């Protein structure tokens, strides 16, 4: 996850040094999508209940993740 965020920052720096003619609209759309995905993942992790855990096998592919939900046991359940 941090890898993608740092990659996005590097890509923004490179785009600033390029001319407008070389940067295509699809490249800009992809980076905007990736920025929004990074923001959504951060919100997801911040708002997950304690019974849920999210795992990203590949930090560069935020659309592929594993969500583990565990039940909450109380003394009444025993």
Look up the pTM and report it: 0.51
Residue 35's nearest CA partner among 1, 11, 5, 70 is 5
CA dihedral (11, 1, 60, 24) positive or negative = negative
Number of domains in the chain: 1
Mean pLDDT, the chain, whole residue set: 75
pLDDT tens across 26-54, in order? 455 567 888 888 899 899 889 999 999 99
Q: What residue numbers bound the domain in which 8 lies?
A: 2-77
- Model confidence at 21, pLDDT cuts 50, 70, 90, reads very low
The DSSP letter of residue 49 is -
């Amino acid at each position: 996850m941090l890898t993608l965020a740092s990659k996005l920052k590097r890509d923004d720096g490179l785009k600033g040094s390029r001319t407008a003619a070389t940067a295509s609209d699809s490249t800009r759309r992809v980076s905007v999508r990736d920025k929004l995905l990074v923001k959504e993942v951060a919100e997801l992790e911040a708002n997950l209940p304690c019974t849920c855990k999210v795992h990203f096998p590949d930090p560069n592919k935020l659309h592929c993740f594993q969500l583990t939900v565990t039940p909450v046991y109380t003394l009444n359940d025993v």
